[in-house]
Amino acid sequence: MDDNLFEKLRILSDAAKYDVSCVSSGVERKNNTVGGIGNASSAGICHAWSTDGRCISLLKILLTNDCIYDCKYCLNRVTNPIERATFTPEEVAELTIQFYRRNYIEGLFLSSAVEKSPDHTMENIYRVLELLRYKYNFWGYVHVKVIPGANSLLVQKTGMLADRMSVNIELPTRESLHILAPQKKVENILQPMSIIHNEISRAIEDKSHFKNFQKFVPGGQSTQMIIGATPDSDKTILKLSQNLYDKFSMKRVFFSAYIPVMSSPNLPAVSTMPPLLREHRLYQADWLMRFYYFNSAELFTEIEPNLDLEFDPKMMYALRNIDRFPIEINKASYEELLRIPGLGVTSAQRIIKERKNAELSYDSLKKMRTVLKRAKYFITVKGKYYGNTKLDPDAIKDEIRMKEIQRQISIFEI
């Protein structure tokens, strides 16, 4: 291992940090090799947490940050005078194995700037996978990015060895992509997504017919878009998300709050704070769509195409549809329980289970560790309402605001 490695790692992990996908979940695999190393756990394993509180489960690096494109929002754009570095595929594979052996990581997340051409870059990405799987006999988790514009055969070859693949959609509309990243054509982004989707479907189909079928990205595909770099609304963003989930059976759509890296007439000012709260609300809405049976349209009104920053999306939904509440805990269906603000999937499932034994009381809900802080305004338990206020959106908002102020004051009381 040479000293150059420190430099390369410094530059190329720093450059990769804005690709927020970091999950190592979705694939269950035992070590069925001869002489090989590694397995995969479907729940994913968090190995470390950085100072920004994010979980680290993979070695997340760029193969190179030497890019031929000039996307306005990107640190690595060709016109930016920064340090450039490139790993050899052998270096990436070796680093992955050594980190994996020491239990620092579950596997590798490999992205890249576009060096020389999409095909040239994708070839190198494939080479890393080939080394890991066939030379090192490594069967931990590997997630690779697909370079838009790379030829389909390369995409297919890579998918047979990777656990997950992503093509970044980058921006929510064709127009914003054209303004900020004109070299990235929408067709070049959608085409590999389509190929991946088709191959995954084929593999699933084969699985039901053949014993030894060719696997293809068993962890599915995901994508990422930057939010806050353009004036597009949350409604637009989530509608696009919903389409991606439906049409490409996307496993995850990731949102990355735009961190200003340069000034441009088409971008927010460099002094703009990254929209972290907005990103958080979008993830909450994403969860509602995937686990709580919400449709993206239900989260917005005609006049309000953005998610509220003060209150979470489920709370806003409940306040806007107050006529559907209060819901009786002992009689509600699972889907109805999921609509109650502050009540999560775990609590809803537990309520359904416990109801079989006995009628639930307010006390038994508390004993089950159901968080009633917000839910209490929207439910009755055995017919009784514990909300301490009228069932009125403004009254409830005021109650919650007051409780929050009281809580903050109490922190300072001795």
Q: Which residues bind another protein (CB under 8 A)?
A: 1, 5-6, 9-10, 13-14, 16-18, 30-31, 33, 35-39, 41, 43, 45-57, 59-60, 95, 98-99, 101-104, 140, 259, 273-274, 276, 350, 353-354, 356-357, 364, 367-368
* Helices marked H in 298-392: 313-320, 334-337, 345-355, 362-367
Please, what is the minimum distance in Å from the beta carbon of residue 155 to another protein? 27
| 296, burial (CB in 10 Å: exposed 0-12, middle 13-18, buried 19+) | buried
Pairing of strands 221-227, 164-166: parallel
Alpha-carbon span 227 to 241, nearest angstrom: 12
Pairing of strands 384-385, 379-381: antiparallel
Please, what is the minimum distance in Å from the beta carbon of residue 59 to another protein? 7
Quick one: which of 227, 220, 226, 293 has its CA closest to 250?
Answer: 220
Please, what is the minimum distance in Å from the beta carbon of residue 53 to another protein? 3
Please, what is the minimum distance in Å from the beta carbon of residue 113 to another protein? 17
**Smaller CB separation from another protein, 49 or 293:** 49
Alpha-carbon span 64 to 15, nearest angstrom: 9
**Smaller CB separation from another protein, 12 or 180:** 12
Please, what is the minimum distance in Å from the beta carbon of residue 251 to another protein? 21
**Smaller CB separation from another protein, 153 or 270:** 270
Please, what is the minimum distance in Å from the beta carbon of residue 273 to another protein? 8
- Which residues, other chains included, contact 49 with Cβ-Cβ below 8 Å and sequence gap of 6+? 55, 56
**Smaller CB separation from another protein, 193 or 329:** 329
**Smaller CB separation from another protein, 37 or 186:** 37
3-state secondary structure of 144: strand
**Smaller CB separation from another protein, 250 or 375:** 375
DSSP state of 146: P
Tokens encoding 118: 């999409």
**Smaller CB separation from another protein, 36 or 393:** 36
Tokens encoding 397: 């908002």
Please, what is the minimum distance in Å from the beta carbon of residue 360 to another protein? 10
DSSP state of 384: E
- Alpha carbon 288 to chain centroid distance? 13
Quick one: which of 187, 170, 282 has its CA closest to 223?
Answer: 170
**Smaller CB separation from another protein, 106 or 170:** 106
**Smaller CB separation from another protein, 44 or 172:** 44
Alpha-carbon span 19 to 126, nearest angstrom: 19
Pairing of strands 55-56, 48-49: antiparallel
Please, what is the minimum distance in Å from the beta carbon of residue 9 to another protein? 6
**Smaller CB separation from another protein, 30 or 211:** 30
| Buried-exposed string 214-225: b where 16+ CB fall within 10 A, e elsewhere | ebbbbbbbbbbb
Q: What is the C-alpha R_g of the chain? A: 24
Please, what is the minimum distance in Å from the beta carbon of residue 334 to another protein? 17
Please, what is the minimum distance in Å from the beta carbon of residue 137 to another protein? 9
Tokens encoding 379: 């439910």
Quick one: which of 66, 68, 65, 45 has its CA closest to 57?
Answer: 45
Tokens encoding 44: 């994913």
